[in-house]
Amino acid sequence: MALLDTSRPAALRRKRRRETGRTLAFLSPWLIGFGLFFAYPLISTVYFSFMKYDGFTAPTFNGLKNWTYLFQHYPFFWQGLRNTLWLVVVMVTLRVAFGLGVGVLITKVKTGAGLFRTAFYLPYLAPPVAATMAFAFLLNPGTGPVNHLLGELGLPQPGWFTDPDWSKPALTLLAMWGVGDLMVIFMAALLDVPKEQYEAAELDGAGPWQRFRFVTLPNITPIVLFAVVTGVIQTMQYYTQAIVAGKVASGVIGGSGQQFEPGYPHGSTWTLPQMVYNLGFQRFDTGTACAAALVLFAISTAFTALLLRRGAGLVED
Amino acid sequence: MTLNPALPLPAAARTAAARTARRRAALEWVAVHSLAIAAALFFLLPFVFVLLTSVMSDRQALTSELWPTSWHWGNYAQVWRTPGFLTWWRNSLLYAGLGTLLTVVSSLPVAYALAKFRFRGRRLALMAVVSMMMLPPQVTVIPMYLFWAKQLHLTGSLWPLVVPMAFGDAFSIFLLRQFLLTVPNEYLEAARIDGCGDVRTLLRVVLPMARPAIAAVALFQFFYCWNDYFGPQIYASENPGAWTLSYGLESFKGAHHTDWNLTMAATLLVMAPVIILFFFAQKAFIEGVTLTGVKG
């Protein structure tokens, strides 16, 4: 057996080399992909962020001008950052809280649990564009069913996607509708909480809220943290729903030469990823777009680092 | 709630306690199921309203009436016949089908190596995978676009969307690796003793065992491609012949400016494949979601 020869240095070296070879072979699709689709474009983005470049004529060195323009003179940078921050705080909090609530509810359902679970999960599957189109219709202030029902109940009828004060809450509602992924994750975590702890708490006279507070929550804290951090990272990338809602609500889909007003209404749905698209592909200011992309990169990397530290289990064996 | 049978209680107290417990359980059943029904309405009513609107007449769709006065199932045929719709459908299938196949084929060996091989820099490689999983596509899109447009002249086609799938997808690698960690090493050693090389072990031993995880990854990737809006917007927007359904759908609203009935019929036609696929492969899908969140 070759295994017995490993005491001899030459054989050991040969074995090592063979193992390195097969490791590289197995990893090769990813290694090439990492270089082509991550390392190379990232370095280029840094390079272009110091260049004056419109995507057509040759780039020229521009120093820090793109950066100072982005932070000091570009009128929409801070607005985009504020909107993104609003979504991160409100949307992520409500989605995690609601997901946990629905998760707890589904573990308590005794009759028709499978049916309820499917019903709660289904909206998560709806393609984002389709879901946003559906909500743009449902929340349409004039003829939408939601305001129709609110009117019947004598409640106020917000302008939703057409009102700058209500567009982000409308997007939040859409995000909460698609909470099925969190429900499943929480459900699995909740079923793993040891039954004995509940029985012990009950013998100690703990009511339902106390059992949730002192038994359930401590047991699922890692999963809640995971949901919060991944939620923040996802919200940093928030794009499709915001742009489609703005397009449909403003009635400008493009095609007829009309330029869609990004972040409609009044920049209220304008986010960092849209900034990259708008600067790079609509205003052809490639340099500033790359600077904006790097801001997005810096913030997402910070949160990913947090996730890797908090959820060290992600990369353990 | 359950009573501890070990507790010595007098017979009378026991029946009284049992009665209170029964009453409490019944009350809880009613409370839980009412809440569940309310939640189900929140999740399902949007589908119902969209469906009802999709079969209304053009005129009724402009009112705020909720129930169709007459049922126009022909709206679906009309959407289907809209110029472009079939092309977008085909493009979506191509992107999602090829993308899924390439992703699985290229991600499995990487996940296997990360789960089972011992080598220097393994942890680093894994952290790179997780980091790339979290990377917003907008960060790298500008050089990528310039590369496809200026060097290869392939924008306005599906190539820039499909080709990257042949180089492993971070999320799929991560999910497959999490699953492969649970495959006992004894199987792999037994295969080696029987004379299997690495490739044969992967194909004959690991692949059959990893079928549920592969199914989950394939579904996720199919949905990702089917739902992708940003990719087609960047690479295909200049050529309507290369649009996918996700990207074409909003322009449908533009072409039929006020026709909410046709727009909602189109919206349901975009949702349909995803939801049908889910019903066929529910278990694999939910296992996949759980694997990412809990086993992590």
According to the 3-state scheme, what is the secondary structure of A125-169?
Answer: HCCHHHHHHHHHHHCCCCCCHHHHHHHHCCCCCCCHHHCCCCHHH
pLDDT at A94 over 80: yes
Nearest-CB residue to A41 (from B110, B131, B144): B144
- For A153-167, give one letter per residue: b (16+ CB within 10 A) or e: eeeeebbbbbbeebb
What mean pLDDT comes out for the span B33-40? 96
Answer for the pair B167, B110: CB distance below 8 angstroms, yes or no: no
Mutate which: A56, A315, A316, A317, vs B, most B CBs within 10 A: A315
Rounded to whole angstroms, the Cα distance separating A276 from A285 reads 10
At B197, the pLDDT band (50, 70, 90 cuts) reads: confident
Is B74's pLDDT higher than 70? Answer: yes
**Which three-class secondary structure state does DSSP give residue A270?**
coil
Mutate which: B1, B142, B169, B252, vs A, most A CBs within 10 A: B142
pLDDT, average across residues A90-97: 97
**In this complex, which of B44, B166, B275 lies closest to A29 when CB atoms are compared?**
B166
A223-230: average pLDDT: 90
pLDDT at A2 > cutoff 60: no
CA distance A125 to chain B (A): 7
The answer to whether B232 faces chain A, any CB pair under 8 Å, is no
3-state secondary structure B239-296: CHHHCCHHHHHHHHHHHCCCCHHHHHHHHHHHHHHHHHHHHHCHHHHHHHHHHHHCCC
The beta-carbon contacts of B204-207 under 8 Å, at least 24 apart in sequence, are: B206/B112, B206/B180, B207/B108
pLDDT at B9: 63
pLDDT at A254 over 80: no
Q: How many Cβ atoms from other residues are within 10 Å of residue A295's Cβ?
A: 20
Percent of all residues in chain A with a pLDDT value above 70, rounded to a whole number: 93
Contacts of B193 in chain A (CB under 8 A): none
* Residue A13, pLDDT score: 87
What pLDDT is recorded for position A257? Answer: 52
Backbone angles phi, psi at B257, to 5 degrees: -50, -55
Instruction: Look at residue B5 and tell me whether its pLDDT is greater than 60.
Output: no
Distances (CA, A) of A29 to A35, A293, B6, B204: 10, 26, 61, 21
Q: What is the pLDDT of residues B199-231, one digit of tens each?
A: 899 999 999 988 888 999 999 999 999 999 999
Express as a percent the part of chain B with pLDDT over 90: 57
- In 3-state terms, what secondary structure has residue A12? helix
Average pLDDT over chain B, rounded to an integer: 89
Residue B86 forms contact with A (CB below 8 Å): no
Peptide bond into B68 cis (omega under 30): no
List all residues 6 or more positions away from A275 whose beta carbon is below 8 Å from its beta carbon.
A76, A77, A80, A289, A292
Angle of the B11-54 helix axis to the A128-138 helix axis, nearest 10:
90
pLDDT tens per residue, range B152-170: 999 999 999 999 999 999 9
Is B41 in the A-facing interface, judged by CB distances under 8 Å?
A: no
Does residue B182 have a pLDDT over 60? yes
Q: How far apart are CA A102 and CA B35, in angstroms?
A: 10
Please state, in angstroms and rounded to a whole number, the distance separating the CA atoms of residues A81 and B120.
Answer: 40
Are A279 and A289 in contact by the 8 Å Cβ rule? The answer is yes
Q: What angle do CA A298, A131, A276 make, to 5 degrees?
A: 25
Interface contact A239-B230, CB threshold 8 A: yes
Identify the pLDDT of residue A91. Answer: 97
Q: Is pLDDT of B295 > 60? A: no
- The verdict on B280 touching A (C-beta cutoff 8 Å) is no
Looking at residues B72-93, what average pLDDT do you find?
A: 92
Cβ atoms B57, B261 nearer than 8 A: yes
Does B113 reach chain A within 8 Å, measured CB to CB?
yes
Classified as helix, coil or strand, A8 is coil
pLDDT in tens, A99-115: 999 999 999 998 999 99
Q: So what's the pLDDT on residue A314?
A: 64
Contact A93, A86 (CB under 8 A): no
For residue A17, what pLDDT is reported?
86
Does the beta carbon of B142 lie under 8 angstroms from any beta carbon of chain A?
yes
How confident is the model at residue B296, as a pLDDT?
Answer: 37
Amino acid at the residue B20: T
Q: What share of chain A is helix, strand, coil (3-state, %, to 5)?
A: 75, 0, 25
State how far the Cα of B205 lies from the Cα of B209, in Å rounded to an integer. 7
Residue B3 clears pLDDT 60, i.e. is over it: no
Supply the pLDDT for residue A307: 81
Q: Residue A313 pLDDT more than 80?
A: no
Pick from B273, B175, B267: which is nearest to B218 by CA?
A: B175
How much is the pLDDT for A219? 92
Structure confidence by residue, pLDDT tens digits, A269-289: 999 999 999 999 999 999 999
Contact A102, A230 (CB under 8 A): no
Average predicted confidence (pLDDT) for chain A: 90
Residue B84: per-residue pLDDT:
87
pLDDT tens digits along A119-165:
999 999 999 999 999 999 999 988 889 999 999 999 999 999 999 99
Structure confidence by residue, pLDDT tens digits, A38-81: 999 999 999 999 999 988 888 999 989 999 999 999 989 999 99
